[in-house]
């Protein structure tokens, strides 16, 4: 029977805790991205396209950061990645819809 090293157990626990903390951060970034989308839509509604473009750029930056973290091995709990990718896709589709308003 192999001996379990307490150090290895503690390190594994700390890695899980860190991944869960990063998961909460990514979930917050997704929530922020959706809030920023709503702000951009409001700016467009009030004919403030320059402001809306600035906000869209911020959302694009958040989306790229999130995508980077989703692709990073062992950065997030693997069970959550599929759902996060779906949420990120929703953000990207909403961004495309917002950006289409600039082309009119």
Which helix (H) or strand (E) segment is 52 a member of? helix 49-71
Residue 64 lies in a domain: yes
pLDDT at residue 4, rounded to an integer: 76
Residue 89 lies in a domain: yes
pTM for the structure as a whole? 0.87
Residue 1 lies in a domain: no
CATH, residue 16 = 1.20.58
Q: What is the pLDDT along the chain (104 residues), one digit of tens a residue?
A: 456 788 889 999 999 999 999 999 999 999 999 999 999 999 999 999 999 999 999 999 999 999 999 999 989 999 999 999 999 999 999 999 999 998 76
pLDDT at residue 87, rounded to an integer: 97
Total tally of structural domains belonging to the chain: 1
Strands (DSSP E) contained in the chain are none
- Give the angle 60-53-84 at the CA atoms, nearest 5°: 25
29 is in which domain, residue-wise?
A: 6-102
Residue 52 lies in a domain: yes
- Which value, to the nearest 10 degrees, does the dihedral of the CA atoms of residues 69, 72, 78, 84 take? 30
In the block, which residue shows the tokens 């911020």? Answer: 58
**Among candidate residues 42, 56, 45, the one with its CA nearest the CA of residue 99:** 56
């Amino acid at each position: 029977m192999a001996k379990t090293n307490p150090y290895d157990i503690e390190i594994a626990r700390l890695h899980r805790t860190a991944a869960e903390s990063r998961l909460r951060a990514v979930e917050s970034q997704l929530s922020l991205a959706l809030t920023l989308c709503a702000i951009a839509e409001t700016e467009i509604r009030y004919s403030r396209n320059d402001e809306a473009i600035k906000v869209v750029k911020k959302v694009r930056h958040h989306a790229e950061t999130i995508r980077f973290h989703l692709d990073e091995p062992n950065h997030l709990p693997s069970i959550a990645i599929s759902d996060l990718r779906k949420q990120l896709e929703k953000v990207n589709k909403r961004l495309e819809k917002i950006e289409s308003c600039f082309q009119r």
